[in-house]
Structure 1
Amino acid sequence: MNALGLSLIMKMGCFCSREIVYINNVRYIIKEKLGEGGFSTIDLVENVATKKCFAVKRIICHGVDDQKIALQEIEYCKKLKHPNIIELIDSTFKGSADIVVNATSEVFMVLPFYRRGTLFDYLDNRSINKDYLSVSEIVRMFIDICSAVKYMHDFKPEALAHRDLKTANICLTDGLSPILMDLGSVAPAKVQVCGSQDAQKLQDLAAERCSMPYRAPELFNVKSFCVIDERTDIWSLGCLLYAMCYFKSPFDAVYERGDSVALAVISGKINFPEDTPYSQETRDLILFMLNENSTARPFIDDVIEKVDEYIRVLDNKV
C-alpha cells in the first residue's frame, strides 16, 4: 500500500473509530497524544484485552541511520535495569530494514504510563503561584536521580552517559518518585576526539540530541583534540537541581529571549533569583556541578557525597 492510501485510511479511521495499533500481536487503542518531539511521538494507549493504559513511543525512521539509532535506544532500555530508569514493556519494528536511502520505517516502544506527567509539568504548575518545593522534597527526588545517573556511569563493560538530562525527561510516579526516561541520547560516556572532523561530528550530534539549556559547555564548542566523558551529565544535573529550586534551568531565560545560550553557558556566570527559600548551601551545591571546566567538574560519586554533606549541614541547622 502506498503512503497516500495509508494516510487516507488513517484519516478515515479518525472519523469512524479510534486508531488501533498492534505491537507483537497485542492490540492497543490510541486514546490521545501525550507529546511530540523532533524524532518521535508519544501516545496514551489502552490494551484492549486488559484495559490497562500505557505510553507508546513511535519513532519514524527515514533511512538506515535512523533505524540504527532507534533500535539502539531499545537495546539500552533492555540493558538498563534500575528503579529510577524507565522500563521497556514491549517493542517492535515495522517497515523496511533494508539499506534504502529513502526507506521509511517505524519503531514502537511500549512504556509505563505516568499520569502525573513529567518533572517539567510538575514544576511548571507550581511556578504559577511560586509554590517552591521544600528542601526535603528536592533532596529526596534529586538523590534518586543521582542514583540512576550513577548506575549508568558505573555501567559495565562500558560507562554510559545520558547526554540529555532535563526536567522534561523525568517522569513522576504517583508517589513523586523520579523516573529517568528518553534513552535516545544515551551513548558511551567517554569519547576520544581526534581532529576537527571528530569534533564537528560530536558537536553536530550534541546540537541534535542535547537540549540547549541543559547542554554542557564542552559540547557547544568541541575542541579538536580532547576527551569528552560522563561529566557532561554532571553539568546537566546542576541545571536540573537549579530548575527544581527555581522552576527553570539557569539558561532557559537566555534561550527564551533568543540570546546566545552558548555564550551564556561558556561564560560560567550563574544568576540566582532573589527572595527564594533556599540557602547559600543550596546555591553552593548547584555551583559545585556547574563548573565550566569539564576536567575540574566532579564525578557522580563526588556529587552524591556532596549531597550527603549538604543534608548533614541542613540537619545541624534544624
Structure 2
Amino acid sequence: MNALGLSMIVKMGCICTRESLNINGVKYVVKERLGEGGFSTVDLIENKGTKRKYALKRILCHSVEDQKTAMEEIAYCRKLKHPNIIELVDSTFKGSADIVVNATSEAYLVLPYFRRGTLHDYLTLKSFNRNHLGVKEVVRLFADICQAVKYLHDFTPEAIAHRDLKVGNVCLTESMSPVLMDLGSCAPAKVQVCGAQDAQKLQDLAAERCSMTYRAPELFHVESYCVIDQRTDIWSLGCVLFALCYFKSPYDIVYEKGDSVNLAVISGTIHFPEDTPFSQDVHDLISFMLKVNPSERPFIDSVIERTRDLQNRIEVVV
C-alpha cells in the first residue's frame, strides 16, 4: 500500500473494520448508529453467525445509582411478556460503576431490530405531504398500544406505569403492529407522596425521564401530599392519539411556537385543527383522556371500552 492510501485510511478511520462485541458468548458486529439520547445510544448490530440483525442499547453508567437504574430497566424487560411490548434478547454489563472518579460501566441490552423504525418516524414521513392516516388505521394502532398499557397497569403483584409513553417510544413491526419500547422510565404505578421532599424528588425524576410534551400535569408540579397513579399514562395516551391524527402531540405544537408547555398542560389547553378528516368521536376520545385533574381521568379499561365502541361505529360506516 502506498503512503497516500495509508494516509487516507488514517484520516477516515479504518473503513474496513467494524467494532466487534461479545455478549454472553455471542459475537456481534456493529453496523451503524441508529440513534442517541441523553443517557443511551442505540446501534444496529449483526450476529456474526446467523447474520440476524438486532438493536443494541448501550447505557453509560457513571455511578452505582446509574447502574441500579439500568438494572431496573433490564429487570422490567425480562419480566414483561406481551406481543405489543418489546422483548429483551440478551443483556450484560461491561466494567463496574463505582464512587471512584471516572469509574464507569456500560449496560448492553440486545433488542429486536425494527426495520420500519418508530411510530414517530412513520408519522413524520406522512406529515411531509399532510397525508393523514385513515381513521381505521389510527384506531387500530391506538387500540393495540392500549393493550400494552393495560398489561402494565394490570400487572401483578404491583401495577406498573410506563411514564414515558410517546410516539417515539413505539416501534412498528413489518405487519405495522405497534410495539412499546424504552422501559427505562417504568416504575410502580402508585406513588404516595408524603411531604415537599418526596414531591420535589418525583418532580425532578419526571423532568428527567418523562418527555415534556407528553407529561401529565400532576408531574409538572407535584403536590406535597398526594397519590400519583397509572393515570399519568392515560394523559400520555391522549397525546399519542392526538399525534396519530395530527402527527404531533398537542404540546409539541406549543413547544415549537416557543410558548410555555408547562402552562399549556396545567391549563389543559388543546386546539383541534378546524380542517380535519376526523370525526367529533375521535376528538371526544382524546378529550376524555386529557383531563387536567387526574381524579377525573379514566383508567385504561374505560379507554379501551370507548375505543372499541369507536371501532364498531367505524366498521358500520365503512
TM above 0.5, yes or no, is yes
| Amino acid of the structure 2 residue aligned with 1:40 | S
State the 1:258 CA deviation.
2.8
Flag structure 2 segments of 5+ consecutive residues without an equivalent.
Answer: 1-10
SS of the aligned residue for 1:251 comes to helix
The aligned residue for residue 107 of structure 1 is 107
Query: 4+ runs of 1 displaced by more than 6 Å?
Result: none
Counterpart in the other structure of 1:165: 165
Q: Does 1:27 align with 2:49?
A: no
1:151-183 residue CA offsets vs partner (Å, 9 max, x unmatched): 000000100000000000000001100000000
Partner of 2:276: 276
8 Å CA contact 2:96–2:105 kept in 1: the answer is yes
Give the fraction of aligned pairs with identical amino acids, expressed as a percent.
Answer: 69
Distance 2:313 2:27 in 1: 53
Tell me what 1:49 maps to: 49
Give the AA of the match of 1:213: T
Q: CA deviation at 1:315?
A: 3.6
SS of 1:147 mapped into structure 2: helix
1:6-58 deviations in Å (ceiling 9; x for gaps): xxxxx997555111121112111111111101100000011111111000000
Structure 1 residue 312 displacement after superposition: 2.8
Task: Report the equivalent of 2:250.
Answer: 250
Shift of 1:254: 1.4
CA distance in 1, matches of 2:282, 2:166: 19
Q: Any gaps of 5 or more consecutive residues in structure 1?
A: 1-10
Q: Is the contact made by 2:33 and 2:44 (CA closer than 8 Å) also made in structure 1?
A: yes
TM-superposed CA distance for 1:98, in Å, is 4.4
Q: For residues 48 and 168 of structure 1, what CA distance do their matches in structure 2 show?
A: 29
Q: Which amino acid aligns with 1:288?
A: F
Equivalent residue letter for 1:225 = Y
Amino acid at match of 2:209: R
Residue 309 (structure 1) shift: 1.7
1:110 maps to a residue whose letter is V
Aligned to 1:218: 218
TM-score by structure 2 length? 0.94
Shift of 1:136: 1.0
The number of residue pairs the alignment matches comes to 308
Aligned to 1:32, the other structure's residue is in SS state strand
Aligned to 1:233: 233
CA contact (8 A) 1:13 1:19 kept: no
TM-score when normalising by structure 1: 0.94
Match of 1:306 in 2: 306
Where do residues 33-112 of structure 1 align in structure 2 (5 Å cutoff)?
A: 33-100=33-100, 102-112=102-112
Tell me what 2:17 maps to.
17
Aligned-partner residue type, residue 224 of structure 2: S
